[in-house]
Amino acid sequence: MKVEKIEKLKSGKYKIKIDGEVITTYDDVILDNHLLFQKEISREEYAKIGKDSQYAEIYHKTLNYVLRKVRSSKEVDEFLANFKIPKTEIAKIKKRLEKNGLLSDLSYVKAYISDSLYLRNDGPLKIQTDLLAKGLDENIVLEEIAKIDDTYVKEKLEKLIQKRVSHDHKHSKYQLQQKILLDMIHLGYDRDMILSSLEQIEFSDNSQLEKEYDKCYQKFSRKYDGYDLERKIKEKLYSKGFDIHEIEAFIDKKKSETF
């Protein structure tokens, strides 16, 4: 069979014309089969070029897949499963990527931790759980998680809490503290670190307490007065999560303003 023409395409691929038939392939297939140095090939060599070209097509698609974003070994397995190729071919492609430094679970774990810490609000515990759920090596995950700077995590946590506090004008101090605690645990932060950070934050219930007090007063003053009115208001405010000492101090202040 005669190799009539080898033409490079704009896509970076090559078009080979052999006895009037065209095969689209890649430079490594051309070099591996010595097509630049021979004009005649056998039927067996022609079949091998076709098979090598199919493999090269899948490899380059996988290469583009890992170049767009750092991928784990499991993600590459799932990607290659779409091509219905033998496990030996999958292993061959992965080994080639690993050799070229393009496939490494360690690199994936490091990149994932970095993105989660600096681009998202995730805490170490959630990052660890997510990585293990992806089927990554537990030893690698735990070793890299242990390297996370606790000082940075605490500073990040305190900023998140402060932001929640400054934007929340609906909940009482107790309600807000409990909500923040649950939210931060869900985000993957250590419970003790959250409680420690909450102790450093100043909460002000006065504006919300006054709003709720006014609502209670309007509601209960139609039916109660004196001690009974005060008791009903205290009970209602306490049930809404306000601290009893702050409630009593606020009511005493309101009474002193009246007289």
pLDDT for the residue 259: 52
**Environment class of residue 103 by beta-carbon count within 10 Å: exposed (0-12), middle (13-18) or buried (19+)?**
buried
Beta-carbon neighbour count of residue 110 at 10 Å?
Answer: 15
Contacts 24+ apart (CB under 8 A), 141-144: 141/109, 144/106, 144/109, 144/110, 144/113
Same domain, 86 and 167: no
Domain of 9, in residue numbers:
3-99
Considering the entire predicted model, what is its pTM? 0.67
Give me the phi and psi of 191, to 5 degrees please: -60, -45
Same domain, 210 and 192: no
Same domain, 13 and 71: yes
Same domain, 14 and 91: yes
Question: Where residue 119 sits, what CATH number does that domain have?
Answer: 1.10.10
pLDDT for the residue 205: 53
Closest CA to 130 of 112, 117, 149: 112
Same domain, 7 and 65: yes
Give the largest CA-CA distance in the chain. Answer: 111
Total domain count for the chain? 4
Same domain, 242 and 160: no
Regarding beta strands 14-18 and 3-8, do their DSSP bridges make them parallel or antiparallel, or are they unpaired? antiparallel
Cβ neighbors of 84 (< 8 A, separation 6 or more) are: none
Same domain, 11 and 94: yes
pLDDT string in tens for the chain (259-residue length): 888 899 999 888 999 999 889 999 999 999 998 888 778 889 999 999 999 999 999 999 999 999 998 999 999 999 999 999 999 999 999 999 999 999 999 999 999 999 999 999 999 999 999 999 998 999 999 999 999 999 999 999 999 998 888 777 677 777 788 899 999 999 999 999 999 999 887 765 556 777 788 888 889 988 988 888 888 988 888 887 777 877 888 888 777 766 5
Question: Where residue 27 sits, what CATH number does that domain have?
Answer: 1.10.10.10
What distance in Å separates the CA atoms of residue 197 and residue 168, rounded to the nearest whole number? 17
Same domain, 127 and 156: no
Same domain, 194 and 228: no
pLDDT for the residue 206: 54
